Amino acid sequence: MDFASLFGIFAGISLIIGSILLGGDLESFVNVPSIMIVFGGTLAATFLTFPFKDVMKAFRAAAFVFRNKQPDPNDTIQTMVKLCALARKKGLMSLSQVDVDDPFLTKSCNLIADNADAKTIRDALRIEIDSLKMRHFNGQEVFRKMATYAPAFGMLGTLIGLIKMLGDLQDPSNIGPSMAIALLTTFYGSLLATMFFMPIAGKLKSRTVNQVIQLEIIYEGAISVLQSANPRMVYEKLSSFVPARYRTGI
């Protein structure tokens, strides 16, 4: 589990609920029609903006924010150094027998074992990296758009509440409660945007950056393996992707 994500959600919700309870009761902040306007409207606008499959992919990607830890670049560097040592000892063909879980690394090893030239390997791996960036951008954009739509529908709900309130001014005692309910939709929209949608989009972006770094390490490592570079030199080259204080060495 990603502790930072869970802590952020738990701390944010706890502080908001705690501040509400200190100043009043939680029940006054619950209004079903307001929730329907904000949440339902945001979902409807999102599905209108993006294809259904892109929205569902974004939601599934958001689940990884809480489930999976980010891989350590140092582990990937160590793997590439070992592969380089293996290739120098047993030849490039030996990489076809390497059993790894990462499909990008598997593709790199197969290309090298198949005696592909440097340009072919560079082109194939670069396309993989660029396509990953585009796929991940779509997921991030879904939540960025939702963060835009939620406050807008919150304001729309507030306008609906104000219209209803102004249409019933005969009883002044209803103005206060009606105004409170009208403002709840703005509260819901802002809460969803700032507490959920934008943070998830930001987390997905950070995950993309981390994953791209992993792929770049494999990419540069594969070229070094193809060139039969010294494993120590490979480490020195790939360790540049990691801040000096976090490098583990070989």
pLDDT in tens, 9-62: 888 888 888 888 887 777 778 888 888 999 999 999 999 999 999 999 999 888
Put simply, whether the predicted model's pTM sits higher than 0.85 gets the answer no
Nearest residue to 128 via CA among 109, 112, 104: 104
Indicate the DSSP class of residue 152. H
Give every residue of the chain whose pLDDT is below 70, as ranges: 1-2, 68, 171-174, 176-177, 250
Residue located via tokens 């198949």: 114
Model pLDDT, residue 17: 84
Model pLDDT, residue 68: 64
**Which residues, in sequence order, are CB contacts of 95 under 8 Å at separation 6+?**
83, 86, 87, 109, 110, 112, 113, 225
Cβ-based neighbour number of residue 24 at 10 Å: 10
Nearest residue to 64 via CA among 195, 208, 192, 193: 208
Instruction: Determine the Cα angle at 104 with ends 106 and 111, to 5°.
Output: 55
**Which residues, in sequence order, are CB contacts of 231 under 8 Å at separation 6+?**
81, 82, 84, 85, 88, 250
